[in-house]
Structure 1
Amino acid sequence: MFIHNIIKSSESILESIHDGIAIADSEENVIYVNEANYRITGIQASEFLGKKVSEVVPDSHIPQVLTTGSKLIGIKTRVNDKDVISNIVPFVYKGKIEGAISIFRDISEIRELNQKLKDAKSTIKHLYEELDFLTDADSNIVVGNNIAMVQTLKTSQKASRVSSTVLLQGESGTGKEVIARFIHKHGTRSAKPFITVNCAAIPESLLESELFGYEEGAFTGAKKGGRPGMFELADTGTIFLDEIGDMNFHLQAKLLRVLQSREIMRVGGTRQKQIDVRVIAATNKNLIQMVQDNTFREDLYYRLAVIKILIPSLRQRKEDVHLYIQNAVNKIGKRLGKNVSVTPRAIKILTEYSYPGNIRELENIMEVCIVSDEDGIIDINDLPDSVIPIKKEVKHNINLSFNEFPSLSEVEALILRKAIEAYHSKSDGNDYCSYGNHA
């Protein structure tokens, strides 16, 4: 009677529960099942009600709970070819066990929910990676609207997830090392060494020993005990081989063997050493043309160009030059301890410039402007003459036209008018740009 009253008073609640519910009395007879019970087990309520629990579900643990009076949590049970997880609790009234209730869920549903949770976590992780990619804290990375550069950074992000060899191609000053560091920073080796080697800056006679190290006595002046090379120092991390197109044929062959075998041998050494190094190479040369000219090994090229990333020149990113200016002003101004802003007309002149030295040249120009600036505002007349050659022409194209020889005061007045026309005053606040730390 006690259990029936509970069922009657709470039946609407029991029917709304998503999990399956079965209630048995103290004699192990099933007296209630909800609608979810049929959805999960496939057994009609009529086949349950009035029957012993063990008749319908031989593996049921309800009889055990009725005998011991102890609840069972997370018990796996087989019901009509379905695996379910059950929580079984006894009904105790005035010290006597009156029955038991089993609340259960299909394990396949739990697995499906777990899979959905994993998928959701994976999606969230991907979105965080995308967000991190687009709002990277590295001050050297600028994400603008240029389609080619956006694609470059997306490819770089994908490259960071694997350990394949990468070849970065682009003009001098486009930021190849910045991209290489970006790939390393966002990869699984980010906590490991990142070693940079400029193949063009080291004499050919020394490059081999710099890359692979040397043993004691390998050559005159060799350090006692020998010395590890850059590849050994980069073990488990990344080595960045800049200006790879300047490497001679002999070293190209040795580098190829390293990429194939993942082993190095020091200069003057007799044994191979196993290494685990990711190689990122960069060049401003056309390696395909060099292969055709037999100045670069074809087999090495294909070993290096597993992932090939082309970095566009700054001339090809005109729509984003203002972003690079802002980035340079903020970064350099912070380093030099100066707060500066750039006027819109100075931005316009800087945007029209061709930048043969790319981003490196732009940053150099902005540093010169910031160092020489005295009022915290970079305007046209603060820019180098090389950026605005017309500036020199204006000085020499003053048209003096008088009916008679002018007086000194008239010449001075004309020159002042021409100067004002050519170089507007900085006092016009509307011409100021919000770039820099004044923003």
Structure 2
Amino acid sequence: MVSRLNPCFSAMAKTEGSANKCLDCELEDILEASHDGQFISDGEGNIVMVNSAWERICGIHRDFVVGKNARDMVAQKFYTESSVIAAIEARKKITIMLEMTRGEKIGQKIMATAIPIWGEDGEIKRVVANIRDITEILYLKDLLEKTKQLNEIYAAELEQMRFQQLTRNCDVIARSPETRRVLEMAAQVAKVDSTVLIIGESGAGKEVIANAIHRLSQRNEGPLIKINCGAIPENLLESELFGYDSGAFTGARKQGKPGMFELAEKGTLFLDEVGDITLNLQVKLLRALQDHSIMRVGGLKPVPVDARIVAATNRNLREMVSSGAFREDLYYRLNVVSIEIPPLRERKEDIPLLVQYFLERINKRYQFNKRFSPAVVDQFLSYSWPGNIRELENVIERMLVMTEDEELHVRHLPAYIRNQALPLEGGMVVPANLPLHKAIEQVEKQLIEQALKKYGSTRKAAAALKLNQSTVVRKIKRYNIAVCLEGDKMQTCFEDPRLKI
């Protein structure tokens, strides 16, 4: 019986062998057809098979690698590491980036993924690795990143050129972020005819911003008429604003006189210190803004006017509205767009350029050749400047005119400025009579500025100050320390010294 079955078993074995051989051939054909490199090893990392794509990507012939162990390939420095060995050691799927370090493909960047195949005994039976040449992808990625960086640099340079052109057109110095924001708002609102209310302390530069709005507007070929509403008595202010007709009052011209509204036709009317206008005159101003026409003093018919209104005040009009000193309807008519100019003490980054600007201008006017010592500029930076830019200009002119020396020192400063600033060690200064927490903030800011200037990066400055780098960066933002970031390098940003605000 058994003898009769043996030929059957032999036939079945031959059939199974032929089938397995066919499967092996089909598997080999499939692997060869793959565009990705294929690499098969046993559970110990011994290389069993590689396909043609693997040869092409790695630049190594299969006859050289089949039979070798993947560890030997790394040891002989053909490539930096092996995904197969990594998968065997980790006992899981692994994806790595490696580089060819020997042979004709040296420098080639490869992404390799190795997947363990488990046997019935729970041990790794085979490892199948797939590799892909990503050199070109990485090159394109690097090229894309560099192009992006260049675009960012060019965009920043174009923005800087645009802003410098803007400052030149407006005759404005804008180094501090606060002043830059003011100028950007002025440029934006100049595109339309909306009424603008400029708010700021006396001497802060309200008139300069009004000039900028007019220069940047489509009305720049028309007149810019300015009137200080707080400097003219009420009985005269009405006729100055609205004009008068013949015989309006004793001493009036026979032919009458046009007012500021009419003189500003097709241009801009700047109403400075608008908060000083009396309630009686506020009614007439409101009517002119609403109707776009005025009634001359003593006149019988309205006169149409076409002027863009820019108003300015150093007073708190909201509080005046609450107290009844300023009409609410006029406030909202004027305050379509409001621009608030910070006082000079809140934008001290502008001070060095303002000092340079006024120094050059006064030297040229009087044919001087004088200069300030660095200590003088430090004192300027520590002073609170209640009179803002106007006070700074007056102090500089007084020092240059009243001093014979070519270089001006701290002793040449007015006594009230010398007495307000108390020098500290290391060239730091802090204003006198300052609350303790404010004085500490002043010292902290100056210490950070000195460290950045000395060490040139936030990382090194932080190490010198025994702080975390993130803390230094946060305090730079908090204190508005004017620096330009270039990688981790820091440098102070300056604008065109010919410009002022």
Using the size of structure 2 for normalisation, the TM-score is: 0.51
Q: Take 1:256 and 1:301, find their aligned partners in 2: how far apart are those partners?
A: 9
Q: Residues 360 and 321 (structure 1 numbering): CA distance in 2 closer, same or farther, change over 3 Å?
A: same
Select the residue among 409, 429, 438 that pairs with 1:379.
409
> Per the alignment, in what secondary structure is the counterpart of residue 171 of structure 1?
coil
Equivalent in the alignment of 1:74: none
Residue of structure 1 equivalent to 2:162? 130
User: Residue 268 of structure 2: which of 221, 224, 238 is its match?
Assistant: 238
Give 1:9-20 correspondences, 5 Å limit.
Answer: none
- Ranges in structure 2 where 5+ consecutive residues have no aligned partner: 1-154, 423-495
Secondary structure of 1:309 counterpart: strand
The corresponding residue for 1:167 is: 197
**Aligned residue type for 2:191:** R
What is the correspondence of 1:246-261 to structure 2 with a 5 Å cutoff? 246-261=276-291
Residue in structure 1 matching 2:354, options 324, 329, 338: 324
Instruction: Give the AA of the match of 1:379.
Output: H
Q: Partners of 2:248 and 2:342 in 1: how far apart? A: 43
Q: Secondary structure at the match of 1:195?
A: strand
Counterparts of residues 27-426 of structure 1 (less than 5 Å): 130-136=162-168, 138-139=170-171, 141-145=172-176, 147-389=177-419
The answer to whether the 8 A contact 1:160-1:183 is kept is yes
Amino acid aligned to 1:143: A
Shift of 1:436: 9.4
Closer/same/farther in 2, CA of residues 195 and 129 from structure 1, 3 Å limit: farther
Distance 1:195 1:137 in 2: 19
**Identity in percent:** 48
| TM-score of the superposed pair, with normalisation by structure 1 | 0.58
* Structure (1 or 2) with the larger CA radius of gyration: 2
CA distance in 2, matches of 1:233, 1:338: 40
Structure 1 residue 331: Cα displacement: 2.1
Distance 1:128 1:194, change over 3 A: farther
Measure, in 1, the Cα distance between the counterparts of 2:421 and 2:321. 45
Q: Distance in 1 between matches of 2:212 and 2:260?
A: 20
Q: Report if aligned partners of 1:385, 1:391 keep a CA contact under 8 Å in 2.
A: no
Unaligned segments of structure 1, at least 5 residues:
1-122, 393-434
Indicate conservation of the 8 Å contact 1:165/1:305, yes or no: yes
More deviation, 150-159/328-337: 328-337
**Residues 155, 274 of structure 1: alpha-carbon distance in 2 compared, 3 angstrom cutoff:** same
Deviations 1:79-134 (A, max 9, x none): xxxxxxxxxxxxxxxxxxxxxxxxxxxxxxxxxxxxxxxxxxxx9xx969834555
Q: Write the distance in 2 (CA, Å) between the matches of 1:360 and 1:369.
A: 14
Structure 1 pair 230–218 and aligned structure 2 pair: CA distance change class (3 A): same
Separation in 2 of the partners of 1:158 and 1:218? 42
CA distance, structure 1, for counterparts of residue 497 and residue 399 of structure 2: 13
Q: Write the deviation string for residues 216-263 of structure 1: whole angstroms up to 9, x where unpaired.
A: 111111111111111111111001000000001111111111111100
Question: Displacement of 1:383 after TM fit?
Answer: 1.2
1:386 Cα offset (Å): 1.6
Structure 1 residues 295 and 334: alpha-carbon distance in aligned structure 2, compared to 1, 3 A threshold: same
Q: Distance in 1 between matches of 2:161 and 2:374?
A: 35
Change in CA separation of 1:175 and 1:391 when aligned onto 2, cut-off 3 Å: closer
Separation in 2, partners of 1:184, 1:194: 7
Contact 1:315 1:354 in 2 (8 A): yes
Which residue matches 1:13?
A: none
Q: Partner amino acid for 2:162?
A: E
1:199–1:241 Cα contact (<8 Å) kept: yes
Distance 1:263 1:357 in 2: 37
1-side partners of 2:366 and 2:250: how far apart? 44
CA RMSD of aligned residues (A): 2.5
| Paired letter, 1:374 | E
Count of equivalent residues: 270
